[in-house]
Structure 1
Amino acid sequence: MKRDVRILLLGEGRRRGGAGASGSRVEVGVWGRDPGSGGGGGSRSGVGVRGGDRGPGSRFGVRGRGPERGGGGRRCPPLTAPPRAAQVGKTSLILSLVGEEFPAEVPPRAEEITIPADVTPEKVPTHIVDYSEAEQTAEELRAEILKANVVCVVYDVSEEATIEKIRTKWIPLVNGETDRGPRVPIILVGNKSDLRPGSSMEAVLPIMSQFPEIETCVECSAKNLRNISELFYYAQKAVLHPTAPLYDPEAKQLRPACAQALTRIFRLSDRDLDQALSDEELNTFQKSCFGHPLAPQALEDVKMVVRKNVAGGVRDNRLTLDGFLFLNMLFIQRGRHETTWTILRRFGYGDTLELTPDYLVPPLHVPPGCSTELNHFGYQFVQRVFEKHDRDRDGSLSPAELESLFSVFPAAPWGPRLPREVCTEAGRLSLHGYLCQWTLVTYLDVRRCLEHLGYLGYPTLCEQDSQAHAITVTREKRLDQEKGQTQRNVLLCKVVGARGVGKSAFLQAFLGCGLGDGRELAEERPIYAINTVQVNGQEKYLILCEVSADSLLAPAPDAACDVACLMFDSSDPGSFALCARVYKRHYMDGQTPCLIVSSKADLPAGSTPPGLAPAEFCRRHRLPAPAAFSRVGPAGLSAAVFTRLATMAAFPHLAHGELHATSFWLRVTLGAVGFAVTAVLSISLYRALVKSR
């Protein structure tokens, strides 16, 4: 929603030569009567519709634009007062609003008025700008029109010539340049209603039909203070709640972008996925958007209106999508389009009917060295989404069910790599694999995770300020290393090795895929794989990231992780040389635990080339002995390697201290033995010397 509104008033007035007030800005602490409090304001009760209600302002002589007359609106910052025809009284309207009485003397132009947000019905600062042909040039008028959010064209209801000027002069002047973009919304203001017993609406309606940018026509009297505050309320409303983005007056239907947005909102509100909203779902929706439920009779009235107008709008006493769309179109047709805008904005939509960046990616500070995880609120929400779309209750999502889940996204967020990153069962995504995928996205790209939660309606459905509520930012890794353990539930392991050593097979074995699966996927290797591992009785998510050793030898590598798995082919010991180089370059002087893994342990061991053997390298660098891995061996052998990696990541001080402690006690033992031997030799030497005497 806009932060402020600028209204420009135009109309026939004094010609050049008259003196007038300066154009300085004045702060005004009065708004006048709230049109909503007097019965003329638009309904804000959501889906509570009363038949026969003509919409806001119907009791004040204000006629809102119906669908057949169209609507328009370029959402620009300022509102501009309508051009003033010969003494039509536009300046008197402004002064009557400010002083709450008809002015005895009227200058050619009123000063710019600023109405504070706290005294306006919409709580938005409003600037009211007057124009005088007597004091300002055509260039100055053009500049004011370009700055205006809405233009009020004032005419004299007792002078038909001023009505004709609306068509021939003022509207072409305001929106004559078609290349300037969206048209400026216009409010027609019939002043001096006290001088005419009847109404000027019959003369104005053809003009409203001809120009869809005309939002409303208001008849008022500056002398009697009739409909003065309503005039500016409707001008403000034309900017904050425009009709044009929502409704096509010529086709008499919702615009595609509006229908698409409302369809997404309907699907999010349909919690049992039966393609209709029950009374309970309608009331939940109503409270979320408007803060209070509907009375039972109001609900029945709503459904009765829909039944009379839309075939299939109500099914089994539930509101269908067609009925929901019709209801919103009815709001707009009756001049209550602020109701539809309230719904749209509650679900994250902006003025262009796109989800706003602030909604999709709320602020979330992630300091260096920290990671991001879903917290229990986030896991509860995504699990509820899973259960909603698991129509057959088999504990997994079929491709069709997954497509249903993604129907509220602009495009499917999880691509063809999904089966290679998480566990799947015969092409279906289990709850376990589904939660793993959410965990992976949150860890690797929290911005994308926030967007996904936003598309699923987390802030609205969970009644939170933003989806950042579902994210936990972990403490710095440095603090974990100082304390000797981590509070993280998601751990990253980088699997490093030369090409062909079996890294892809290692990742697929982590997901429980057979050897055949790995061969089928050989052309497109997965980069990540995620699964859960038990660490001292606690479930941890372990992410394996496949990394080419060559990439870590590049000028600016990213070697950061919780544990490193350096893999070589046991049948080709020469492949270990690359592991040794990576270790010495990135991990030897750091605090990241490392595990050397000997893959293809089922094959005969190859001859060791000159240089350090893997076991000797580990001993010299105080690393754990190489762990054997084979894809065709017992499953327990593979599981033990993954558990060991997760444990080393969760308790990095043990991984580093295990061998250090052994070496310490070995040194203590050897020292004690050496001391004892020295003592025995000293005593024997002493006795020999005594005997020689």
Structure 2
Amino acid sequence: MVVRHSLLKDVRILLVGDRGVGKTSLILSLVSEEFPEDVPAKSEEITIPADVTPEMVPTNIVDYSAAEQSNLQLFEEIQKANVICIVYSVDDDDTMDRVTSFWLPYIRETLLSRATKCPIVLVGNKTDLVDYSTVDAAMDIMNEFKEVESFVECSAKSLNNVSEIFYYAQKAVLHPTGPLYITETQDLTDPCRKALTRIFKICDMDNDGLLNDAELNSFQKRCFDTPLRSEAMEDIKVLLRKNISGGVSSSNFITLSGFLYLHCLFLQRGRSHTTWAVLRHFGYNDHLQMDRSYLYPKFHVPAGSTAELSFKGQQFFINLFFRYDKDKDGALSPAEQENLFSTCPATPWGSEISHIVPTNSQGLVTLHGFLCFWMLTTLNDPKTTLEYLAYLGYLITETENQTSAILVTREKSLDLLKKQSTRNVYECHVFGAKGVGKTSICQALLGHPVESVRSYVFNPVSPYTINTVSVYGQEKYLMLKDMDVEDINSALLNTDINCDVVCLLYDCSNANSFSYIVSLYKKYYAENKIPVLVVGNKTERCIGIEMQQNYKMQPIEFCDKKCLAPPHLFLLNPTKQEELFIKLATMSVFPRFHAAWMLFYRHTSHLKDLSLLSDSLIWKAGIGITLVAALGFIVVKLLKTNSKR
């Protein structure tokens, strides 16, 4: 596995310093691997290919010469540089003094207008001419000027540490220490500590606040594609016990404080690349923020298709739920919920969640409700699901990202052609005039009694509800959307019109409510192939006989003329309520079912009183015709095949 680096595509290294300190000699010695006897005033820009650099990143090395370049050119080169090497001669104190009196202040002033920081590497050249070191003076400079990332003493003539200059320059760009470590306090920065804490929680698979040997080994393989030897694991624990109290638990597992200390130690020992490798593997960019390309990988849902959780995505959320359901009661308590989403910027739902998905009697999200929520989110906004999958620690590698958790379904036009859908999540839009009870119907999908819905007038809830419905023994997710269309004459958006099935709701006790859905049907669904079911609500108010609607045709006549199934009368009885949702889900799964229904309906038109046929009987008979027709087609096909033989 290739470790993610900085977002930079290449590294531009600029060498500056006083005349005669050996800038050009260092560049030429690096390239030719021998000291040049004839040194020009300035080296041409050198490009080092990625495959010959330690970090596998193309590198451009730029020389500066006061003899050949103007101050304006120097200004421009500093602006373009990713890292600047200030070179001084260890045998000339004046050149070292100029580092603090001129070069560092000048570079600071030049970079004031630039948004990104530019690290600096301090380079002491010509060590072959002296028998002492300038390391103490260099450390004083580094303490005063925080932009100085590292210090190297070298000799262009003897080739000592020449390649190290450019390695540390690359490292200062790709793995800067500044964002991670505070030199004065010898501690991690707050953003670094926060990021590493999130990573620790993700890797703590049993959620016990510790990294056991298996989890530590999994972390090592995930970040560096190599297992951790048992000897190395024990060495780490010995090191932690020796240096930090509480770094290893009594059960011999690594604690969060031990994990953070390890990274602090890496940074103190100049191994910032190790910590950066971990951070970047878990999606952090150069500013220690989750990178957008990590949160939102390329993902496209074609027109007519939908997005739903794949089997892999469902398993991830199921495992996540069980991991954080500490008391194993099958629901997320407020504390468990907070703990689960502690690796995310915020909890993805609010207090209205009990009106959107199934919950227990205390209003807590169950596993069933948890899956329903993510199915709903993936259908409506797959981008948010992708984002939270990344935050929650879905395994992302160089060859696979969180898009493997989402399945893009085939186009609905193919479903209509094949007269059957293979999807698992279906969308039903519920239309009706104000006051007909759309909210009651939607909340009934969650098993909420009508009485509890009356308070929603003053406390509006989400227009979405989702639950599973059994269609011929298969569990399908049915999402209802309460369509609040105040003006029937206003144009609806395609997103408002298009769905898997339409529920046109009228109030049996309100004579003026049916004309509303008739107008909407004629305007949007008369020529549309989307299945439509007309539903009469509040039937309990019409004892014995349904109120006549103020329209030229009554609901059953209208449905007959438009080749729709007869109106479904919604009753408060839970079993009868379930029948409605089964109908809607079945019409979604078999989008051309209403055509089979009309075939049956017309064949029974000779009956004087169709009301003698129960609605459920007619429905089942219509389904039977569909299945018989399908069976007949298969039999005919088999007979044809045998005859050819």
The normalised TM-score by structure 2 is 0.89
Aligned counterpart in structure 2 of residue 429 of structure 1, from 347, 357, 365:
365
Corresponding position: 1:642 with 2:578: no
Corresponding position: 1:157 with 2:90: yes
The 5 A counterparts of 1:57-456 are 78-83=12-17, 85-177=18-110, 179-180=112-113, 181=115, 183-316=117-250, 317-425=252-360, 426-456=362-392
Partner residue, 2:528: 590
The residue type paired with residue 557 of structure 2 is E
Corresponding position: 1:572 with 2:510: yes
1:398/1:427 contact within 8 Å kept? no
Percent same amino acid among aligned pairs? 46
- Displacement of 1:3 after TM fit? 3.2
SS in 2 for 1:417: helix
2:78/2:110 contact within 8 Å kept? no
The number of residue pairs the alignment matches comes to 592
Give the CA RMSD over aligned residues.
1.7
- Displacement of 1:248 after TM fit? 1.8
- Greater relative contact order: 1 or 2 (C-alpha under 8 angstroms, separation 6 or more)? 1
SS in 2 for 1:458: coil
The residue type paired with residue 2 of structure 1 is L
Aligned counterpart in structure 1 of residue 591 of structure 2, from 649, 652, 656:
652
Flag the 1:105–1:172 CA change in 2: closer, same or farther, 3 A.
same
2:434/2:486 contact within 8 Å kept? no
Flag the 1:458–1:191 CA change in 2: closer, same or farther, 3 A.
same
- Displacement of 1:327 after TM fit? 1.1
The residue type paired with residue 3 of structure 1 is L
SS in 2 for 1:187: strand
SS in 1 for 2:448: coil
Partner residue, 2:552: 611
- Displacement of 1:575 after TM fit? 0.3
Work out the CA distance in 1 between the residues paired with 2:123 and 2:372: 61
Work out the CA distance in 2 between the residues paired with 1:175 and 1:183: 10
Work out the CA distance in 2 between the residues paired with 1:484 and 1:435: 28
Flag the 1:156–1:526 CA change in 2: closer, same or farther, 3 A.
closer
The 5 A counterparts of 1:615-634 are 615-631=556-572, 634=573
2:34/2:159 contact within 8 Å kept? yes
SS in 1 for 2:602: helix
Work out the CA distance in 2 between the residues paired with 1:469 and 1:291: 20
The residue type paired with residue 455 of structure 2 is E
SS in 2 for 1:202: helix
Q: Structure 1, residues 267-286: CA drift from partner, whole Å, max 9, x if none?
A: 10111111111111111101
Aligned counterpart in structure 1 of residue 432 of structure 2, from 497, 504, 509:
497
The answer to which of 600-609 and 289-298 deviates more is 600-609
Q: Structure 1, residues 146-191: CA drift from partner, whole Å, max 9, x if none?
A: 1111111111111122111111121112113573355421111111
Work out the CA distance in 2 between the residues paired with 1:474 and 1:642: 22
For structure 2, the residue ranges without an aligned partner over 5 or more in a row are 1-5, 607-645
The residue type paired with residue 558 of structure 2 is F
Partner residue, 1:15: none
Work out the CA distance in 2 between the residues paired with 1:393 and 1:640: 33
Partner residue, 2:466: 530
- Displacement of 1:658 after TM fit? 1.9
- Displacement of 1:533 after TM fit? 0.7
Work out the CA distance in 2 between the residues paired with 1:501 and 1:206: 78
Higher-Rg structure is 1
- Displacement of 1:418 after TM fit? 1.0
SS in 1 for 2:42: coil
Q: Structure 1, residues 315-359: CA drift from partner, whole Å, max 9, x if none?
A: 121111111111111111111111110000000110111111110
Aligned counterpart in structure 1 of residue 8 of structure 2, from 3, 6, 15:
3
Work out the CA distance in 2 between the residues paired with 1:618 and 1:578: 15
2:79/2:110 contact within 8 Å kept? no
- Displacement of 1:544 after TM fit? 0.6
For structure 1, the residue ranges without an aligned partner over 5 or more in a row are 7-77, 668-693
1:459/1:467 contact within 8 Å kept? yes
- Displacement of 1:551 after TM fit? 5.7
Work out the CA distance in 2 between the residues paired with 1:208 and 1:170: 14
Flag the 1:610–1:195 CA change in 2: closer, same or farther, 3 A.
closer
2:563/2:594 contact within 8 Å kept? no
Partner residue, 1:39: none
SS in 1 for 2:541: coil
Work out the CA distance in 2 between the residues paired with 1:331 and 1:226: 25
The residue type paired with residue 393 of structure 1 is K
The answer to which of 242-251 and 619-628 deviates more is 242-251
Work out the CA distance in 2 between the residues paired with 1:481 and 1:270: 46
2:309/2:375 contact within 8 Å kept? yes
The residue type paired with residue 179 of structure 1 is L
Flag the 1:177–1:107 CA change in 2: closer, same or farther, 3 A.
closer
2:45/2:61 contact within 8 Å kept? yes
The answer to which of 486-495 and 651-660 deviates more is 651-660
SS in 2 for 1:608: coil
Q: Structure 1, residues 55-102: CA drift from partner, whole Å, max 9, x if none?
A: xxxxxxxxxxxxxxxxxxxxxxx321132x231111011011111111
1:593/1:656 contact within 8 Å kept? no
The residue type paired with residue 508 of structure 2 is S
Q: Structure 1, residues 22-66: CA drift from partner, whole Å, max 9, x if none?
A: xxxxxxxxxxxxxxxxxxxxxxxxxxxxxxxxxxxxxxxxxxxxx
The residue type paired with residue 550 of structure 1 is E
- Displacement of 1:664 after TM fit? 7.1
Flag the 1:4–1:531 CA change in 2: closer, same or farther, 3 A.
closer
The normalised TM-score by structure 1 is 0.83
Flag the 1:238–1:614 CA change in 2: closer, same or farther, 3 A.
same
Q: Structure 1, residues 288-307: CA drift from partner, whole Å, max 9, x if none?
A: 01111222221122122222
Work out the CA distance in 1 between the residues paired with 2:487 and 2:334: 36
Partner residue, 2:445: 510
Q: Structure 1, residues 433-473: CA drift from partner, whole Å, max 9, x if none?
A: 1110010000000001100111111134x886210011110
